[in-house]
Chain A
C-alpha cells in the first residue's frame, strides 16, 4: 500500500448534510465527535466545507425541496470521494416513503457507497460505515 492510499485511509474528512432528518441520526453523528467515541483519533474531522471533504454523510430522505442542494454539495467535493447514508430514512425513505413531498432514498439523487441502517443509527455503526467507505478511497486510481 503506497503512502498516498495510506494517507487517504488515515485522514477522511467528513461533510455532514441533513436532508430533512428528524435530527435523531444527526445527534448520533455528533455523539461520535464527543470524548466517548472521539473519531479524531482515526484522523476523521467533521468539516463544514464540501471542497475540503472526502466523505459525504447524509441523513434523512431526499425531497423536492433540497435535492438540488444535495447534488450541488456532492459535485463540489473533489475526487476521490465517498457517500454514506446514515439512518433508515436516507436508505429507503423510511417512514416518509411514498409521501408526496419525498423522493425516497438518497440514492435517487446521488450515487451512494455505504448504507448505515437504523432509527437512529448507533455511533458505532456510523464509524463502521466510514471505515467501509474508506475501502473505496483506498481503491481509487487502481
Chain B
C-alpha cells in the first residue's frame, strides 16, 4: 500500500472517528432507552451535548487538570493515527495507555474527594484491562507472523496475512471483550464514572471537569471507543470476507450494550479478580495452544 494512501486514510480516520463514535453513543442511548421501555433521545444527541459543552463558560479547578485533558485527547488521536498508518500494534497500545492514564492523573490533581476517588478507581480499571490488551497483542502477532516462523507486531502484517485471525484466536477475542467493557465504562465495570449520569461518586473521574474541558474528554472517549472497536475488527480483515471486520466490531459493541443493560455495577475487587482471572488466563491459554500447534 502506498504511503500517500496511508496518510490519506490517517487524515480520514481523525475526521471520521469522532463522527462514528458520537453516532454510536447516540444509537447506544436510543437502544438502551428502548431496552428499558423508553423512547430515548435523538440519535444525534451526543453531538448536541458536546457542542453545548463547548459553549459553556470555562471553569477550572487547577491548571494541571487542563493540561491532562488536552493530553488525553491528543495522545488518543495520536494512537488513532498510528493505527490508521498500520504501524506497530504495541506502539498503538502504549500511546493509548499513556493517553488513558492522563485522565486519572488529571482527576487526582484536584482536591475534590469525588474526583480523587474517581481517579483511584480509574487507575484500578486501568490495572484491570491494560494487561489483557497488552497480552492479547502477543497471540495476534504470533498468528500474523505464522508462528513459529516469526512474530510480527505490525498492523500492516495482519492485513497482508492470508488467513483471518478469528478462527484461531477466538479465545483471545473473548478476553478482549472483557477489556472493551471496562474501556467503554459499561456495567458491571463502570466503577470510576459511569456513562450514565447518576451514581454514588457524582461523576467520578470527570467530576471536576466542566464545560469545554468535559467536551474534550468526551471527544477523546469517542476516539478511544472507535480505536478499541477497530482493534476488534482486526480479527477478520483479510480475504474476500473482509467486511466481516465491520460486523465483528459492531457486534462486539452491541454485546457491550446488552451486557450493560442486564448487569448491575459491581465492586472494583470483583472487577480486578474477573479481569485478571478470566481475561488474562484466556489469553495465556490461547498463547499456549498456538505454541502447541493446536490453533
Q: Whole-angstrom distance between the alpha carbons of A115 and B48 in the complex?
A: 27
**Per a CB cutoff under 8 Å, which of B33, B37, B45, B202 touches A11?**
B45
**Per a CB cutoff under 8 Å, which of A4, A41, A48 touches B55?**
A4
Interface size class of B (residues with CB under 8 A): 20 to 34
Q: Whole-angstrom distance between the alpha carbons of A35 and B32 in the complex?
A: 12
Contact flag A80-B56 (CB < 8 Å), given A38-B33, A43-B49: yes
The residue on B at minimum CB distance from A38 is B38
Contact partners of B54 in chain A: CB under 8 A: 4
Chain A CB within 8 A of B150 CB:
no
Instruction: Please state if A43 and B41 are interface contacts (CB–CB under 8 Å).
Output: yes
Chain A CB within 8 A of B263 CB:
no
Contact partners of B208 in chain A: CB under 8 A: 51
Chain B CB within 8 A of A109 CB:
no
Contact flag A38-B207 (CB < 8 Å), given A4-B52, A7-B52, A80-B56: no
Contact partners of A51 in chain B: CB under 8 A: 59, 207-210
Contact flag A48-B198 (CB < 8 Å), given A6-B48, A7-B52, A38-B39: yes
Chain B CB within 8 A of A52 CB:
yes
Instruction: Please state if A41 and B203 are interface contacts (CB–CB under 8 Å).
Output: no
Contact partners of B214 in chain A: CB under 8 A: 52
Chain B CB within 8 A of A136 CB:
no
Contact partners of A80 in chain B: CB under 8 A: 56-57
Instruction: Please state if A40 and B203 are interface contacts (CB–CB under 8 Å).
Output: no
Instruction: Please state if B52 and A8 are interface contacts (CB–CB under 8 Å).
Output: yes
Contact flag A35-B211 (CB < 8 Å), given A11-B52, A45-B197: no
B33 to chain A, nearest CB (A): 6
Q: Whole-angstrom distance between the alpha carbons of A48 and B54 in the complex?
A: 20
Chain B CB within 8 A of A79 CB:
yes
Contact flag A38-B40 (CB < 8 Å), given A8-B52, A49-B203: yes
Chain A CB within 8 A of B3 CB:
no
State which residues 49-81 of B face A: CB under 8 Å: 49, 51-52, 54-59
Chain B CB within 8 A of A78 CB:
yes
Q: Whole-angstrom distance between the alpha carbons of A79 and B59 in the complex?
A: 9
Chain A CB within 8 A of B199 CB:
yes
Contact partners of B240 in chain A: CB under 8 A: none
Q: Quick one: CB contact mask for A68-84 with B, threshold 8 Å, 1 for yes?
A: 00000000101110000
**Per a CB cutoff under 8 Å, which of B36, B51, B197 touches A3?**
B51
Q: Whole-angstrom distance between the alpha carbons of A45 and B33 in the complex?
A: 13
State which residues 175-200 of B face A: CB under 8 Å: 197-199
Q: Whole-angstrom distance between the alpha carbons of A42 and B41 in the complex?
A: 6
B49 to chain A, nearest CB (A): 5
Instruction: Please state if B198 and A46 are interface contacts (CB–CB under 8 Å).
Output: yes
Q: Whole-angstrom distance between the alpha carbons of A47 and B44 in the complex?
A: 20
Chain B CB within 8 A of A96 CB:
no
Chain B CB within 8 A of A10 CB:
yes
Q: Whole-angstrom distance between the alpha carbons of A46 and B48 in the complex?
A: 16
Contact partners of B38 in chain A: CB under 8 A: 35, 38, 40-41
Contact flag A78-B51 (CB < 8 Å), given A38-B33, A46-B198, A52-B214: no
Contact partners of A76 in chain B: CB under 8 A: 59
Interface positions of B (Cβ within 8 A of A): 29, 33, 36-42, 45, 47-49, 51-52, 54-59, 197-199, 202-203, 207-211, 214
27 A-B residue pairs with Cβ-Cβ distance under 8 Å, sorted by A, are A6-B48, A7-B47, A7-B51, A7-B55, A8-B52, A10-B42, A11-B49, A35-B36, A35-B38, A38-B38, A40-B38, A40-B41, A43-B48, A43-B49, A46-B197, A46-B198, A47-B198, A49-B202, A49-B203, A49-B207, A51-B210, A52-B210, A52-B214, A54-B52, A76-B59, A78-B56, A78-B211
4 pairs of A and B residues whose beta carbons are closest in the complex: A51-B210, A7-B51, A10-B48, A7-B52
Task: Apart from A43-B41, A45-B197, A51-B208, list 18 A-B contacts with CB within 8 A.
Answer: A3-B51, A4-B52, A10-B45, A11-B52, A38-B39, A40-B33, A40-B40, A41-B41, A41-B42, A42-B41, A43-B48, A51-B210, A52-B203, A52-B214, A54-B56, A78-B56, A78-B58, A80-B56
